[in-house]
Amino acid sequence: MKTIFEPFRIKSVEPIRMTTRDERRELLREAHYNLFSLQSKDVLIDLLTDSGTGAMSANQWAAIMRGDESYAGSPSFDRFVAAVGNLMPFEHIIPVHQGRAAEAILFSILGGAGNNIPSNTHFDTTRGNIEASGAIAHDLVIAEGNDPASLHPFKGNMDLKRLEAYLGEHGDTVPCVMLTITNNAGGGQPVSLENIRGVSKLARDFGKPFIIDGCRFAENAWFIKSREPGQGNRSIPDIVRDCFACADGMTMSAKKDGMANIGGWLALNDPDMAEQARARLIQTEGFPTYGGLAGRDLEAIAQGLEEVVDEDYLRYRVATNDYIIARLDELGVPVVKPAGGHAVFVDARQWLPHIEPLAYPGQALVCGLYETGGIRSCEIGSVMFGRQPDGSETPAAMELVRLAIPRRTYTQSHADYIVEVFAELAEVRTELRGFRIAQQPRLLRHFSCSFEPLGGGNAVTADDAGVLQLPRRTA
Ligand SMILES: *Cc1c(COP(=O)(O)O)cnc(C)c1O
């Protein structure tokens, strides 16, 4: 069957306000070509992130009504702990308001100057929290993970040889070993169960706690079931339990595979570490039976965890990415393959070779997608990574554009529309122009910097020069 069967029907809808190309051209200009500055009502399809942007189910909304807002000892906390413990059998489960709060607490215990913390690829908030503690974050993903063209089924795997050498070299300065499943910063690529067990064994051999960043654990389990030899007949909850059984703790953002709009947790087996974590939690997040959350959020997460391991849901989720990637591939748009769990990545450097890396081809594509079709996507390239601490600019390793797919939010018609917008853009791609950054803050510039289009685009009329992205066409 060619149809992606969305395994739900729609009970409540949010209208999308239609806009014209001319309106979007003007909105882009007013936003100084930074899509973080757009209002969401001016976006037709919002693919900026899959974090906290998914649709909740009728049962989650029902659970929200059941939320008990008692300060201490809420039954909503018990349901939350039972739901997490059913999949991730850790001794101590500590709610937090989102994933980075779990990281901040964890690295207040395990970080610190002189320490070295390896992972396949640290997510940016993880790296940020490690570095803020004074420790150094290292990425040890397998070589295939850095090659957009490699078809390796588990491009998120840790390089076990490098990890072993690393643990030997850094010795006592390594407080823990981390692993991100799926590997978000590496394109949402999965990690095999065999590799998870391999990392666990090395951590044990060297006497280090093994902590999983489990934000997309269900998508990762789906890839294990569908790609790893011997796993095809196993249930998703069983695979998930195996993944976490060999870890000593985890950090989690419930905004991803918690199917909630906010939330997260830190889980640990070690009682001393858990005690330190709870002390910190009370300082920064709240009492241990609610963390930074309302009782209703704990209920939404508990229900979400039952729904996210449903195979019909996961099949639909990954099929959407596969579908978009296959069609973009047919159009000749270079995409990162195979499909990851939560997003489609387009290689803007390869598609727009006439734009130099430091004229930000990813930003040109992001603006082109918005002007052409009202799609909001995210540059992951030299805008995000190009600025060095000394203020100089170095091109990023890759110039990618990420189309992150919110959970249960858009349909196959929307996917077809996205592909159509790319088809239209393909006709004018050589006319897309690069950008210069006009103003930027010192840190995390991609959220707030302003851009100016570079002049001299060949098909842009004099009237448009310096302002407009594409030749004027009818909306
Ligand atoms: C989103 C994310 C985080 C941080 O979670 P927040 O809820 O956004 O704070 C950490 N690690 C990974 C892999 C993520 O995708």
Quick one: 359 exposed, middle or buried, by C-beta within 10 A (0-12, 13-18, 19+)? middle
Which CATH architecture describes the domain 21-50+310-453? Alpha-Beta Complex (3.90)
pLDDT, tens only, 56-90: 999 999 999 999 999 998 999 999 999 999 999 99
Question: Does the Cβ of 213 fall within 6 Å of ligand 1?
Answer: yes
Question: Does the Cβ of 180 fall within 6 Å of ligand 1?
Answer: yes
CATH code assigned to 58-307: 3.40.640.10
Question: Given the DSSP bridges, would you call strands 400-404 and 378-380 parallel, antiparallel or unpaired?
Answer: antiparallel
Structure-model confidence comparison of residues 468 and 319, the more confident one: 319
Question: Does the Cβ of 320 fall within 6 Å of ligand 1?
Answer: no
pLDDT at 475 over 80: no
Among 90-94, 300-304, 344-348, 385-389, the range scoring the smallest mean pLDDT is 385-389
The whole-number pLDDT of residue 40 equals 97
Domain with CATH 3.40.640.10 in the chain: 58-307
Please, are residues 203 and 117 in contact by the beta-carbon 8 Å criterion? no
Is the model's pTM score more than 0.85?
Answer: yes
Instruction: List CB contacts of 335: < 8 A, sequence separation 6 or more.
Output: 325, 328, 329, 344, 345, 346, 347
Indicate the DSSP class of residue 254: T
pLDDT, tens only, 149-176: 899 999 999 999 999 999 999 999 999 9
Phi-psi map region of 410: left, alpha, beta (phi>0 left; psi -120 to 50 alpha): beta
Grouping H, G, I as helix, E, B as strand and the rest as coil, residue 451 is strand
The residue written with tokens 């702990």 in the block is 81
Domain with CATH 3.90.1150.10 in the chain: 21-50+310-453
Which residue in 164, 98, 169 sits closest to 129, CA to CA?
98
Helices vs. strands in the chain: H and E counts, helices first? 16, 14
Question: Does the Cβ of 51 fall within 6 Å of ligand 1?
Answer: yes
Atom number of ligand 1 nearest to Cα 52 = 7
Q: How confident is the model at residue 444 (pLDDT cuts 50, 70, 90)?
A: confident
What phi, psi does 265 have (nearest 5°)?
Answer: -155, 160
Which residue in 128, 130, 155 sits closest to 141, CA to CA?
155
**Distance of alpha carbon 69 from its chain centroid, rounded?**
30
Closest residue to atom 4 of ligand 1, CA basis: 99
Question: Does the Cβ of 253 fall within 6 Å of ligand 1?
Answer: yes
Q: What is d(CA 340, CA 326) in angstroms, rounded to the nearest whole number?
A: 13
pLDDT at 398 over 90: no
Q: How confident is the model at residue 278 (pLDDT cuts 50, 70, 90)?
A: very high
Atom number of ligand 1 nearest to Cα 263 = 7
Question: Does the Cβ of 121 fall within 6 Å of ligand 1?
Answer: no
Q: How far is the CA of 228 from the centre of ligand 1 (A)?
A: 25
Question: Does the Cβ of 100 fall within 6 Å of ligand 1?
Answer: yes
Question: Does the Cβ of 261 fall within 6 Å of ligand 1?
Answer: no
Angle formed by the axes of helices 271-284 and 99-110, to 10°? 120
Q: What is d(CA 356, CA 354) in angstroms, rounded to the nearest whole number?
A: 6
Q: How confident is the model at residue 441 (pLDDT cuts 50, 70, 90)?
A: confident
Rounded (10°) CA dihedral 347, 48, 338, 355 = 0
Q: How far is the CA of 215 from the centre of ligand 1 (A)?
A: 6
Question: Does the Cβ of 98 fall within 6 Å of ligand 1?
Answer: yes
Q: What is the mean pLDDT of the chain?
A: 93
Question: Does the Cβ of 126 fall within 6 Å of ligand 1?
Answer: yes
Q: How far is the CA of 3 from the centre of ligand 1 (A)?
A: 31
